Amino acid sequence: MHAVIEQARNEGRVVLTEIESKELLGQSGINVNDTRLASSKPETASISEQLGFPVVLKIASPDIVHKSDAGGVRTGLETTQQVGQAYDEILKAASQKYPKASVHGISVQKMAAPGVEVIIGMSKDAQFGPVLMFGLGGVWVEILEDFSLRVIPVTRRDVREMIKEIKGYKMLTGYRGMPPVDEAKLEDMLLSVADFVTKYPVVKELDLNPVIADSEGAIAVDARIVLEDSK
Ligand code: ADP
Ligand code: MG
């Protein structure tokens, strides 16, 4: 068993944090951004300086799944001073909304270049087993319910169709002067995610939300994995 899964199990948890999820996914060849855990304000500052500004800070807690709803995400931080202030504000907001949450620290990562935000997910259907999901980020999936699904295992042809059949597909082909996203790289990521969940049947749910896609590739900047209940 992977050390990350073992640790969660030992702590009686089924939810992996963003950092744990990215560690597991990154080691399976899925393109995730370099994300580090900081346990103090000075450490948050020094990691930010090492990674290079602008950075993003997020609350790192297995008990806080929707980080931005809890005031737990600050993007576009340009200076050490802004990082210090965001550090205090995130911890304050989180402790107000989730006073009982166990907090591992703050995750630090570089701000990704702008692109189109998409979602890649997996959930298990009682009848069909693992199902792969693709959609556009933001309001598209939730409000417009615009997403595509395929039962795993999938072929390259399946994932190519998944990308092309969403209603918002035009967002990927270059709009408002943006170059089209690299669809082959998105296909690669969908295929790697399908392989990943086949390799780890203990993964019950997976969400890469968002994956930021542009003309050069695709990278997951948020990740959440839920494990099966231990038996
Ligand atoms: P949550 O989904 O738990 O609220 P996210 O980690 O997805 O938190 O962050 C919220 C939003 O912040 C994302 O949907 C994305 O728009 C933006 N964001 C997060 N991380 C980055 C990053 N590294 N670079 C650019 N934007 C980011
Ligand atoms: Mg997210």
Condensed to tens digits (0 to 9), the pLDDT of residues 8-29 reads 999 999 999 999 999 999 999 9
pLDDT of 130 reads 98
Q: Establish whether residue 111 lines the binding site of ligand 1, counting it when its CB lies within 6 angstroms of any ligand atom.
A: yes
Q: What is the secondary structure of 36-93 as a DSSP string?
A: EEE-SHHHHHHHHHHH-SSEEEEEE-TT-SSTGGGT-EEEEE-SHHHHHHHHHHHHHH
Counting atoms of ligand 1 from 1, which one is nearest the CA of 68? Answer: 4
3-state secondary structure of 94: helix
**Ligand 2 geometric centre to CA of 64 (Å):** 12
Residues, the chain: 231
pTM of this structure: 0.96
Average pLDDT, the chain: 96
Condensed to tens digits (0 to 9), the pLDDT of residues 25-50 reads 999 999 999 999 999 999 999 999 99
Q: Establish whether residue 47 lines the binding site of ligand 1, counting it when its CB lies within 6 angstroms of any ligand atom.
A: no
DSSP 217: E
User: Who has greater pLDDT, 147 or 1?
Assistant: 147
**Ligand 2 geometric centre to CA of 180 (Å):** 23
Pairing of strands 15-16, 147-151: unpaired
Pick the residue whose CA is nearest to atom 20 on ligand 1: 221
Condensed to tens digits (0 to 9), the pLDDT of residues 152-206 reads 999 999 999 999 999 999 999 998 788 999 999 999 999 999 999 999 999 999 9
Work out the pLDDT band at 231, boundaries 50, 70, 90. low
Give me the helix-helix angle, 3-10 and 18-27, nearest 10°.
150
